A = this chain, B = another copy of it.
């Protein structure tokens, strides 16, 4: 099998080997009772005040379609340590469990589950790697894109990230996450096709360069695409703008050019000069687009400077979430066989039990979250909802990117204003464990110390 033959059905093998080793061990031991795993993150990157949940759609699709075909099984039988009877058992392997999750487009804080998987232990274990691969990345880039969209303060942002995002899957899933976060359009044709996201794009420098004369290139391109955006910085930005003006005089009423794009240099200064040149020529309706290494900080500076820029093209720095390309996310067992579980590794303490997140609002703004046990009766709006039962997604679980985008807009508007400034907030958003969760954590920790004491610390020094 080569990389060129890989398709979605092969994602069942996109797992860490230890998942298969553990699943085989659990199966042989009969550790097949119900487990609950929580997918959450432990701390916010320094430059984030919240994360936006994303990636649930792909996690659910994977869970629904998960199965090993004969080709996979034949190959797995060559892996050291996997037994023939286990390989036979994998033939019937399906995900039959349930999932509760934050709908895509929900602001989420440290230790709050983005999703909880409830299934027989082998099923819930095997799916860890791929589910996290999808939810982690999409949450990371949706959370970055929110910042870019906020910085643009109402001006459209277009995703130009495809070429420098991390591989083909990132380019697709990222475009979808950006859309949910409020990005207006993408340059990515396949993402447009799959997700119905508006696609946009006009010209690169190479088109200009291939002509002996920049004005001739503009004339030809505007002939084919009258309402296009012309890229003016190939040689000298303001000279390029003057050629657009010259073209407008040539064409008269036939000049329909929608805008010019600045892609290098001092964008604020060039935008002001460009606006002046265009306005002097009576081209007030010709817009100015800016691109070139932009992120939320440079966009905020441009907006604050009053630069007359109408829209932003944002590529790499948003596409890889350059300042925070990953999140300390974990998928952890919180309950097995009806008993809450935790771990106490330094810096990685895990709260036990299946949970619910309650968002408490006052006067139209969220004041704090309560992290409670599932089933607890706490004031506030519960955020985790059932999205899959018996291995099938629930119809309401997955409303698609457009409705998730609406949800994101609505949910973010409920956050305290201090979280929306793209600067470290004066105080973080408070998330407190419920009294019942604290009690459970104490009692399980105590019990565990007892276990360790009775069984393991005879040699403790």
Question: A: which residues have CB within 8 A of B?
Answer: 1-8, 10-11, 13-22, 24-26, 28-29, 31, 35, 37, 58, 61, 65, 75, 79, 81, 121, 125, 128-130, 132-134, 136-137, 140-141, 160, 162-174, 176, 187-190, 192-195, 199-215, 220-221, 224-225, 228, 233-237, 239-240, 242-243, 245-246, 263-265, 293, 316-317, 319-322, 325-329, 331-333, 336-337, 341-348, 448, 451-452, 455-457, 459-460
Contacts and interface: CB of A to CB of B under 8 A. Distances in A.
A451 B288 CA distance: 25
Nearest to A265: B346
A224 B25 contact: yes
Contact of A345 (B3, B31, B263): B263
23 contacts: A3-B58, A6-B172, A11-B190, A14-B171, A15-B188, A16-B160, A19-B204, A20-B189, A21-B225, A25-B220, A125-B204, A130-B168, A136-B164, A164-B327, A166-B169, A205-B345, A209-B343, A214-B452, A214-B456, A233-B346, A235-B448, A264-B345, A319-B326
Contact of A164 (B58, B133, B188): B133
Contacts of A448: 235
Q: Could you say how many copies of this chain the assembly holds?
A: 2
Contacts of A240: 456
A144 to B, nearest CB: 11
Nearest to A212: B451
Given A1-B194, A3-B173, A213-B455, 9 more contacts: A4-B61, A11-B190, A14-B168, A14-B171, A14-B189, A22-B206, A133-B163, A166-B170, A210-B341
Given A20-B189, A204-B22, A456-B243, A210 B121 contact: yes
Contacts of A166: 137, 140-141, 165-167, 169-170, 174, 320, 325
A225 B6 contact: no
A187 B448 CA distance: 30
Contacts of A207: 22, 25-26, 125
A286 to B, nearest CB: 16
**Interface of A (DSSP majority class):** helix
A163 B293 CA distance: 28
Which of A167, A225, A348 has the most chain B CB within a 10 Å cutoff? Answer: A167
Which of A190, A263, A456 gathers most chain B CB within 10 Å? A190
Given A128-B163, A345-B234, A193 B239 contact: no
A420 to B, nearest CB: 25
Contacts of A228: 21
A449 B202 CA distance: 25
Contacts of A171: 14, 133
